[in-house]
Every structure is written in C-alpha cells, then in structure tokens.
Amino acid sequence: MDYDDRIDDAERLMEIIKQAAKEGAMEVYTLADPSMAESAKLACKLLGIPATDVIGPITEAIASHLDNLNKDDIVLAGVPRTGKTPLSIYLPQEGYKVANVRIVKDVELLKSLFEVDPEKDTINAIVLTTTRKARQRV
C-alpha cells in the first residue's frame, strides 16, 4: 500500500489514480482542496476505481453548520486558546446548541457570523467582572 502526503497539483493526482487503476487498487483520499477532491472522485469513477473521500463529507457538514450560526443558541467566537472549546463541549450537555468559531489573523471572518442575532452578543456582567478580576491577579 502506497501513501503520498504531498499531492499539490492535478497532474500528480492523475498519475496516482492511473497507477491505482493499473494495480487494481482503491483510493482513499483526504484532499482539502475541493476542486482536487472533485477531480479525484471523477477520475476514479471514470476508471472504475473504488474510492472514498474521507475528509470531504466532514468538511461539507462543518461548512453547512457554520452557514447556519443564527440557529445556534450560543456562538463562541474568539482567538485560539481562550477556553472556547471546553465551553463548547460543556454547554451542549446543558441543552444548548453551540458553535465554536476561531478568529485568526489574516483569515476572513465568516459572513454568517455577522448574521447572528445581536441579542446573543452579550455576557453576564457578574461573570465578566469575575473573569477580569481573576485575570488581574495572574
């Protein structure tokens, strides 16, 4: 079984798929570029190669969810390493629908983030004060 973790152009992708066809192999791929994934899917289908896109369905599900942030009860948006993930795991156990959106320098913000109801853009004053005081002590 061969493994290639550096497929960055369609030509190399087609070489690999043609080789798989010659060997009677199957393709299991995790191509982050949607156009490359679509090319792999079509080429495998044309050549009769069994193929599985591992990451595509996951990426589509996440993208679909992030397009619907306004349906969540809580949207946690912020820079990495600020405690969003543990909170986004805990809150659903309390019955809330929660989205966790990273804000990263040089990465465009999701348009759906601006469609979230402004009423959800709040924090309890007591919680905010407690958090700020705790940070001052550190």
Q: Tens digit of pLDDT per residue, the chain (138 long)?
A: 566 677 888 899 999 999 999 999 999 998 878 888 999 999 999 999 999 999 888 878 877 777 788 888 888 888 888 888 899 999 999 898 998 888 888 888 888 888 888 777 677 788 778 878 887 876
Q: Give CA–CA dist 83/12, Å, rounded.
A: 41
Q: Give CA–CA dist 53/58, Å, rounded.
A: 10
Q: Give me the sign of the Cα torsion angle 48, 52, 57, 59.
A: negative
DSSP 8-state assignment for residue 111: G
Q: Give CA–CA dist 48/18, Å, rounded.
A: 11
Q: Give CA–CA dist 28/25, Å, rounded.
A: 10
Give pTM, 2 decimals.
0.51
Question: Which secondary structure element, helix H or strand E, spans residue 126, and what is its range?
Answer: helix 125-137
